[in-house]
Structure 1
Amino acid sequence: MKCFFPFKSKNKQKESKSAPDLRNKSDSLTPVLDRASKSLPSPRSIPELYKEKEQNLKVFSLQELRDSTNGFSRSQKLGEGGFGSVYKGIIKPKNGKGSPILVAIKKLNPHSLQGHKEWLAEVQFLGVVNHPNLVKLLGYCSIDGERGIQRLLVYEYMPNRSLEDHLFNRALNPLPWITRLQIMLGAAQGLAYLHEGLEVQVIYRDFKSSNVLLDEDFKPKLSDFGLAREGPKGDRTHVSTAVVGTYGYAAPEYVETGHLSIHSDLWSFGVVLYEILTGGVS
């Protein structure tokens, strides 16, 4: 489950190297360079990209999700945190054709303002990304009524729980080394896709063993994108932001300065790698 710890900021990062001197080149290059720079489209933001793909997400009714979880029964609960609770559900096809689908349903605490912000971030980021090592968002439910707001997310179901469970829950058998290696390689591919595989760079900002979910074949999928942020654009090296995350996984330079970059994710990846190699808790 997600934990949040505010931190205070201090240091600066190194500035990027200056561009090579072109003063001795012919002035005739200037119009060409100007035209080239003008022809390059600026990268779109996640909300802009989401508008193109939002039709791919199903809008569920609250009654449909209530029925799929036996009225959000405690027996169906998979876990809970500050944002709310996660339930196992079975979505039945409306026309009666096809097989029921196992899903995980995250139900937001209606009194959580921070949770609503994270809910919206998850809808937009997971509505845009598409990679085998990122958990798939199937749809959502959003209701503003007299009885309060209802915000729910519907994901593909991951039967083998999280990497954290298999590392630190003694009731489960230890993972073989080859499986551990495959999990970390898959998680690395998911991070690489976020950092380099999209029109806009995405910083995950919450890489930890509890957010690495495992499917029936122990294939890893990164989950919980409520803290994800767009990366720096142009020649910027970082984005400045309030420091949130889980103690022990956040990069020291991010904690001290509030400067966020993909290197913050790489530090967190190293922490999980340490956990998977040693069995020690970060």
Structure 2
Amino acid sequence: MRCLPFLHGDTKEKDPVTKSASLRSMSTTSTERDVRSGSDFTSLNVSDMSAESIRRTQYPSFTDRPSNLRVFSFAELKSATRNFSRSLMVGEGGFGCVYRGVIKTSDEPNERIEIAVKQLNRKGLQGQKEWLTEMNVLGIVDHPNLVKLIGYCAEDDERGVQRLLVYEYMPNGSVDDHLSSRSTSTLSWPMRLKVALDSARGLKYLHEEMEFQVIFRDLKTSNILLDENWNAKLSDFGLARHGPAEGLTHVSTACRSCDHSPS
């Protein structure tokens, strides 16, 4: 997998848009999830979410290809986010909260990178299957227009389960941030075209450039994030599923908040 870019270099392309640290799209704010429908990528039952069971059965239902995901301890992520400080919270939704943080790189311990940490809400069931699906999909894909998953945390303690995902940090927030009435300025038309092309490249990779198809199922402006160079990347793969099996023409993409006809 490609190395993470550093976040403080000069940008290759400038656009008159106020930078936003918001990552609301990381936290499933708009789409109501249907965990009962399940996903082809979910390798464990919700009732079997122990850290040991995840280590025992790491992504067997998705692929035998090795994953480069980094396993974090809860203490590491707690330190990286200053004890999950509210001042570093950049998103909140049905899955839980998303925090900005800083960690040391695994290759160069003296170097630090910014990350986004998504923490599963321990008080609710929503998102547990999606947590597994995100690991199954993002753990092996590698494309410049898909958000990079760096690693995860799965620990059980006296307070219950701890389930977190660690992503590359996207300093310019989501496309939705720059299209909403809250934004002080909007994306220029050339930048909007670039976003559309970048998103299409990510979808083409999922549909045509892997040995199996992945149906994204959650394409919306809040799930298209912008990196430091204003490159667009698809995020939030909790609803992703396998494409149609050989001989079939379609799969159902319905979820609770969607139309229930197959597409």
Q: TM-score if structure 1 supplies the norm length? A: 0.70
SS at match of 1:165: helix
2:199 to 179, 187, 192: 187
Write out aligned runs for 1:139-178 (5 A): 139-178=151-190
Distance in 2 between the 1:50 and 1:98 partners? 34
1:10-159 map, 5 Å: 47-54=60-67, 56-93=68-105, 97-159=109-171
Aligned AA for 1:148?
G
Deviation at 1:3, TM superposition (A): 2.0
Whether 2:248 is the aligned partner of 1:236: answer yes
Cα displacement (A) at 1:138: 0.3
Aligned length: 211
Evaluate the alpha carbon distance shift between residue 50 and residue 91 of structure 1 in structure 2; reply closer, same or farther with a 3 A threshold. Answer: farther
Task: Encode CA deviations 1:177-215: one digit per residue, 9 max, x unaligned.
Answer: 111111100000101111111111100000000000000
The separation in 1 between residues aligned to 2:253 and 2:174, in whole angstroms, is 28
**Deviation string for 1:70-99 (max 9, x for gaps)?**
000000000100110000000035798432
* Paired amino acid for 2:195: I
| Preserved contact between residue 217 and residue 253 of structure 2 (Cα < 8 Å) | no
SS in 2 for 1:78: strand
Q: Flag the 1:5–1:151 CA change in 2: closer, same or farther, 3 A.
A: closer
d(CA) in 2 for partners of 1:159, 1:169:
20
Shift in CA distance, 173/242, structure 1 to aligned 2, threshold 3 Å: closer
Q: Which is worse superposed, 119-128 or 163-172?
A: 163-172
Are 1:50 and 1:127, in contact at CA under 8 Å, matched by a contact in 2?
Answer: no
Amino acid at match of 2:233: K
How far residue 217 of structure 1 moved from its aligned partner, in angstroms, is 1.2
8 Å contact 1:50–1:125 — kept in the other structure? no
Distance 1:95 1:197 in 2: 29
Query: Closer, same or farther in 2 for the Cα pair 1:87/1:50, shift >3 Å?
Result: farther
CA 1:244–1:178: 2 relative to 1, 3 Å: same
Q: Provide, for residues 105-145 of structure 1, a one-character-per-residue CA deviation record: whole Å limited to 9, x for no partner.
A: 00000133231100000000001211100000000000123
Q: Secondary structure at the match of 1:180?
A: helix
- RMSD, aligned CA: 2.0
Separation in 1 of the partners of 2:108 and 2:210? Answer: 37
Query: Which shows bigger deviation, 171-180 or 102-111?
Result: 171-180
CA distance, structure 1, for counterparts of residue 215 and residue 243 of structure 2: 6
Alpha-carbon distance in 1 for matches of 2:202, 2:107: 35
**Change in CA separation of 1:120 and 1:65 when aligned onto 2, cut-off 3 Å:** same
Aligned residues: percent identity?
Answer: 53
Paired position in structure 2 for 1:4 = 32
Higher helix share: 1
**Partner secondary structure for residue 82 of structure 1:** coil
TM-score, with length taken from structure 2:
0.75
Q: CA deviation at 1:49?
A: 5.0
Q: 1: distance between equivalents of 2:238 and 2:185?
A: 31
Whose relative contact order is higher, 1 or 2, with alpha carbons under 8 Å and at least 6 apart?
A: 2
Shift of 1:242: 5.1
- Structure 1 residues not aligned, in runs of 5+: 7-45, 261-282
Q: Is the 8 A contact 1:49 1:128 kept in 2?
A: no
Q: 2:18 maps to which residue? A: none
